[in-house]
Amino acid sequence: MDKLKAKLNQVEAIIHADDFYTKYSADERLEYLTKRSDIEFKINKENIYVRLTGNDKYYYAHQCAEFTKYILINGFQQYKPKDINSVYFNTHKITIRLMSTGETDIKNFKTKQEMLGFVVGFNTCSREIEDYKIVKEYKHKGCLIKIFKQNPNVVYTDELYDDGDCGYRGDYGYQIFTPDGECIAHDETDQWDDGAAMDNAEWDVQVLYIDEQKLQGEK
Which residues, at least 6 apart from 41, have a Cβ–Cβ distance to it below 8 Å?
A: 57, 58, 61
pLDDT tens digits along 24-43: 898 998 998 889 889 999 99
Model confidence band, residue 129 (pLDDT cutoffs 50, 70, 90): low
**What does DSSP assign to residue 206?**
I
Give the best-scoring range by mean pLDDT among 2-6, 58-62, 177-181.
58-62
Contact yes or no for 206/141 (Cβ under 8 A): yes
* Residue 183: C-alpha distances to residues 20, 26, 57, 103, 176 (Å): 42, 43, 24, 22, 6
Q: Cα(144)–Cα(173) distance, rounded to whole angstroms?
A: 14
pLDDT tens digits along 79-100: 888 899 999 999 999 999 999 8
Q: What is the average pLDDT value for the chain, to the nearest integer?
A: 86
DSSP-derived 3-state class of residue 57: helix
pLDDT in tens, 133-144: 888 999 999 999
| DSSP for 66-125, written as a single string | HHHHHHHHH-BTTB-GGGEEEEEE-SSEEEEEETTS-EEEEEE-SSHHHHHHHHHHHHHH
pLDDT score recorded for residue 128:
62
What pTM, to 2 d.p., does this model score?
Answer: 0.59
For residue range 186-206, list pLDDT tens digits in order. 888 888 899 999 999 999 999
Q: What is the pLDDT of residue 98?
A: 92
Query: Does the CA dihedral 102-107-110-113 come out positive or negative?
Result: negative
Residue 138, SS3 per DSSP: strand
User: Above 90 in pLDDT, residue 214?
Assistant: no
